[in-house]
Amino acid sequence: MLKTLNAERFSKPVSDFSPGPAPVLNWIDIEKLVVDSEYQRGISRRGIANIGQIAENFDWSKFAPVIVAPVEGGLFAVVDGQHRTTAAMLRKLTSVHCQIVQADRAKQAAAYAAINGNVTKTTHTQLFHAKMAAGDERTKIVASICSAAGVTVIRTNTTQSNMKIGQTSAVGALMRCQDSYGGDVLLCALRCITQTADGNSGYLRSTVIEALCMVLHDHPEWQAQEDVLLRHMGKFSFPDAWEAIAAGRDKFFPNTQNQTWPNA
């Protein structure tokens, strides 16, 4: 669904409006771009991996303009965009589109700090839905399993206590379990939560999902009798188990090492 932008619910600025000279957009040769090491961070190990990802999946639709400021010698200091420009170089591109701002060194450093310090972090759940919209196959598989189990990946941050039946933010666990144990195990594990007791709202958590998947993977005979499994899981109390574990009690669970599968 497409929506127009609306700023009515936000507080109006009270400071004087002095944005400085309007920036100019232009293509600039990469050989004219420089980095001021006084305020720019060096490229870390994580940065190297990020550059590799950008280069490997290079797409202009994902390449935001590089923010630069003119400096002496006809060069331009990179304020924001060192990683993506380096990725462009790996693709043997000779120029990138830039937003040219008029800023002295102090203002460049302030702009760098503001851009990198005020970024609104994208959550795992938001990325999940973005990948769904983009048609990512791995994400679509997990979403299909969730749908079959009555599970919905939330779009906004919500505390566990406010989660409704079937809601989860455990995207990482869902992906890992699908990769490690397969869709059938993941589906059965999710149903053990959503289709037992009162739906166990708030317990579609990473640790719970991964623990169930591990156990079901080790006991395929349980998964093969899902109706029996769900009937017995209906007698299991996730809240009581969670409270016992959180309190450090190790006596909650009986020793099941030699226990056989109960009769239907």
What pLDDT, on a 0 to 100 scale, did the predictor assign at position 257? 45
Q: Are residues 134 and 236 in the same domain?
A: yes
Q: Are residues 133 and 96 in the same domain?
A: no
DSSP H helices, 149-248, are 171-181, 183-194, 206-218, 220-224, 226-233, 238-246
Q: Domain boundary residue among 117, 137, 165?
A: 117
The total of structural domains in the chain comes to: 2
Of 20-34, 48-62, 175-189, 240-254, where does mean pLDDT reach its minimum? 240-254
What pLDDT, on a 0 to 100 scale, did the predictor assign at position 250? 54
Does the residue 241 lie in any domain?
yes
Q: What is the pLDDT of residues 93-129, one digit of tens each?
A: 999 999 999 988 888 888 887 777 766 667 888 889 8
Query: Residue 201 corresponds to which tokens in the numbers above?
Result: 């709202």
DSSP H helices, the chain, are 45-56, 82-90, 105-117, 124-133, 137-148, 171-181, 183-194, 206-218, 220-224, 226-233, 238-246
The residue range of the domain holding 66 is: 24-117
Q: What is the pLDDT of residues 153-189, one digit of tens each?
A: 998 878 888 999 999 999 999 999 999 999 999 999 9
Q: Are residues 112 and 129 in the same domain?
A: no
Q: What is the pLDDT of residues 204-218, one digit of tens each?
A: 999 999 999 999 999
Q: Which residue has the tokens 């719970």?
A: 208
- 63, 64, 70, 71: CA torsion to nearest 10: -60
Q: Is the whole model's pTM more than 0.95, yes or no?
A: no
3-state SS of the chain: helix, strand, coil percent to 5?
A: 50, 10, 40
